[in-house]
Amino acid sequence: MSTARIMDQFQTHPATSDNNPTPAAAAEPASSFSAEKPKENSMTLAELGRSVSYTIPYAELKRGDKIGSGHSAAVYNGTWRGITVAIKELSDKAYLKEFCDEANMLKKIQALSIPSVVQYAGFSENQGYSYSLVMEYLPLQDAFTWIEKNAGDITKDMPSRCIILKNTIAAIQHLHQHNILHRDLKWENLMLDTDYKIKLIDFGFALQLEGETATYVSSEITGTPSYMAPESINHCHYSKASDIFSFGSMLYTMLEQAVPFSYPGWSDARIKSHIAKGQMSPIAKTPPAFAALIKQCWNMDPSKRPTAEAVYEAIDAISQPRPTPSMNA
């Protein structure tokens, strides 16, 4: 399947919740961004956010060009107090609770100093007309774009893929150490720099568990169908193991170069039905050691899936070069 086909099929299955199954199109507001170079600011974005208690007057924002959009929001570049920022503006008020949940989660993550997560500056409201999250501007590509651009023989760039995979599961491990679940893990929600360092974004579905081994029982199914865990589909149960299942699907996408169930004409309901029954996409091109790891992450029993730490160790072991056998007798 061509990378264009992969992306075409994936875009038909955005992240949704059962309460809002049909996303609205993002609005296209006018730009008010100045082309002038912003002045230097001695404070970091995180420090500025804390100094204003993460509440930003809308009049202080200068919004620029649209640089991305999702199922409920559009993202613009811009400036705030002399710092270049990303401004995520809500485009569908039906998702206002999710939007506010993301703001609260980013504030909590920043207070915990969790690495590999986009920096957060604050929340801005324009008299009830519009709502914005002000975050670190990342002039990077998302990891799915990298996968598309590097389609082909994966053995040629396997070291780079292993670095990305290790950095990704390390970021997930940092969240899990604080009992935080992302609940919408996929390559589109990771930004990637030239050194293959990553930043996790899009915390609209994220939550913090009450205990190390707790399971959250939701009133709705959330996430992106191809990456959902079976227990989430069947019972609305979410745990660290649910994130690990999603990472298994990310492994599959990275190494098979296709999103699970990215087949023409497949609906969200059909994808969920197959995952709920354990009927996963066949693994054909992935090296055996990674194929075995995907299957472990895809175990139907959440208690039998590896932890993020164990997955990191497995990827690290697989990626280590094997010693050349001695030719001496």
Residues known to be catalytic: 184, 186, 189, 202, 224
Q: Is 113 helix (H, G, I), strand (E, B) or coil?
A: coil
Amino acid at 200: L
Contact, 247 vs 190, CB < 8 A?
Answer: no
The label of the residue with tokens 């929340």 reads: 123
Q: How far apart are CA 311 and CA 306, in angstroms?
A: 6
Helix 240-256 × helix 158-177 angle, to 10° = 170
Phi and psi torsions of 124, nearest 5°: -135, 135
CA 311 to centroid of chain Cα atoms: 18
Token pair, residue 320, equals: 């280590």
Burial grade of 42 (CB within 10 A; 0-12, 13-18, 19 or more):
exposed
Q: How far apart are CA 133 and CA 253, in angstroms?
A: 30
Q: How far apart are CA 86 and CA 83, in angstroms?
A: 10
Q: How far apart are CA 133 and CA 314, in angstroms?
A: 37
Cα torsion 218, 68, 33, 93 to 10°: value is -30
Contact, 176 vs 308, CB < 8 A?
Answer: yes
